[in-house]
Amino acid sequence: MVGSIMGRFRNSNGTLAYENGCVQNGGCLSEEKLDELRKLIGKSEGDPLRIVSVGAGAWGSVFAALLQDSYGQFRDKIQIRIWRRAGRAVDRATAEHLFEVINSREDVLRRLIRRCAYLKYVEGRLGDRTLFADEILKDGFCLNMVDTPLCPLKVVTNLQEAVWDADIVVNGLPSTETREIFEEISEYWKERITVPIIISLAKGIQAALDPVPHIITPTKMIHQATGVPMENILYLGGPNIASEIYNKEYANARICGAEKWRKPLAKFLRQPHFIVWDNSDLVTHEVMGGLKNVYAIGAGMVAALTNESATSKSVYFAHCTSEMIFITHLLAEEPEKLAGPLLADTYVTLLKGRNAWYGQMLAKGQLSPDMGDSISGKGMIQGVSAVEAFFELLSQSSLNVLHPEENKPVAPVELCPILKTLYKILISRELSSQAILKALRDENLNDPRERIEIAQSHVFYRPSLLGQP
């Protein structure tokens, strides 16, 4: 339609453009989407839409870079920034690797030379200079994803400066840090008149046992810490890998929350290579995002211990998905609605996620649970805290279900042998990684189909687990 009313020409790089400077299916459409969101939020002319990503892990950094790539050219209409703590030094090995990555990518090399930034990477490699995570992020290098150079980002290391007037705050923090940081943020928002929009990318949960056992998700942590209404807090997640998204491989995600914001935000975030769906069921999708990380660690262990045996991996997949289906019947009144998203997200995480990688490294002896769940070059392994939280919750006798064979009430975790084994490997550390194979090959282990039938034929739904009345 646009092409029929405007003159067209080829840019020097060969892309098709129009007389007003718009790239076909690019700049004009992006500006239109930006204008729509600005209008909805109530931004006046000359007042930029302010978006800040809090936390600079792989997903948080890629999310900010996606927005910068799509909308950064409209500087008078939007301001995109990312916050991370200052002062984290880049170790010598990472500095050397960064140098290799830079010199293997002509576009990145030229960009750094133009910015007069190349010399510091030479010095860092030689040990003549210490590089810091916040300064390399300004050049487009996420410490947890150094093989995937991003676009340069505006980095802020003062949290108050980053968030005090932000219209949209993206939570790129691990779930284990979310409450603490947003409690600090709430101090800076005491004088605010407008209510910000918050998009949480965090995958993980916390367990609370009083007054009844229940799950606390990152969006609830943010609500409790800041008082921002739940209708202004959304969750974005889905079957994707951060580096693949930035490299424009096909990916998708689901933004969940109140209709007022999820639909316009889905449109704003959607790209040709990054399809964003929207869904009203925020909490259960958020919990499922954490649950699949639990079983991804075990998948990595099985892959490493069996030399990537296709049969062993498929048997593990059958058992872990049957446990997840059982758990969804505890959490959701209509669990069948979660089956597709949960399985898709689980599949991609088992294939290529950091939690599966962590399981592999544990099984190979290259990492130990004693080293903690924050790993250099990978960031936070969210599945570890999720194993502890789900085990703790599902061990509560107040949630007892009827055991199908023993015909007596048992805690739900007794019907989740893979979860129990992962807890004993990762948290109580009673067992080695080898135990995952023993659990998988236990002759007394029920057929996965039986666990699904149990879940479907019994009234297991526990609304209290998600804080429902």
So which residues are the catalytic ones?
292
Which string of DSSP letters, residue by residue, matches 175-194?
A: HHHHHHHHHHHHHHTTT-SS
Which DSSP symbol is given to 125? H
Contact of 218 with 180, CB cutoff 8 Å: no
210 burial type by CB count under 10 A (0-12 exposed, 13-18 middle, 19+ buried): exposed
Distance, CA of 451 to CA of 288 (rounded, Å)? 18
Q: Which is it for strands 49-54 and 16-18: parallel, antiparallel or unpaired?
A: unpaired
Two tokens, residue 331: 């959490």
CA nearest to 424, candidates 388, 374, 383? 388
Cα 329-339-458 angle, rounded to 5 deg: 25
Q: 423-452 b/e with 16+ CB inside 10 Å = b? A: bbbbeeeebebebbbebbeeeebbebeebb
Which DSSP symbol is given to 89? B
CA nearest to 341, candidates 318, 326, 321? 321
Helix (H, G, I), strand (E, B) or coil at 102: helix
- How many of the other CB atoms lie within 10 Å of CB of 93? 10
Q: Which amino acid is at 218?
A: P
Distance, CA of 87 to CA of 243 (rounded, Å)? 25
Q: Which is it for strands 374-375 and 155-156: parallel, antiparallel or unpaired?
A: unpaired
The residue count for the chain:
469
Contact of 313 with 303, CB cutoff 8 Å: yes
Contact of 28 with 15, CB cutoff 8 Å: no
371-377, long-range: CB < 8 A, 24+ apart? 376/91, 376/94, 377/94, 377/143, 377/144, 377/146
Peptide bond into 211 cis (omega under 30): yes
Which DSSP symbol is given to 332? -
- Angle separating helix axes 118-126 and 92-104, nearest 10 degrees: 140
Instruction: Give residues with Cβ within 8 angstroms of 187, minimum separation 6.
Output: none
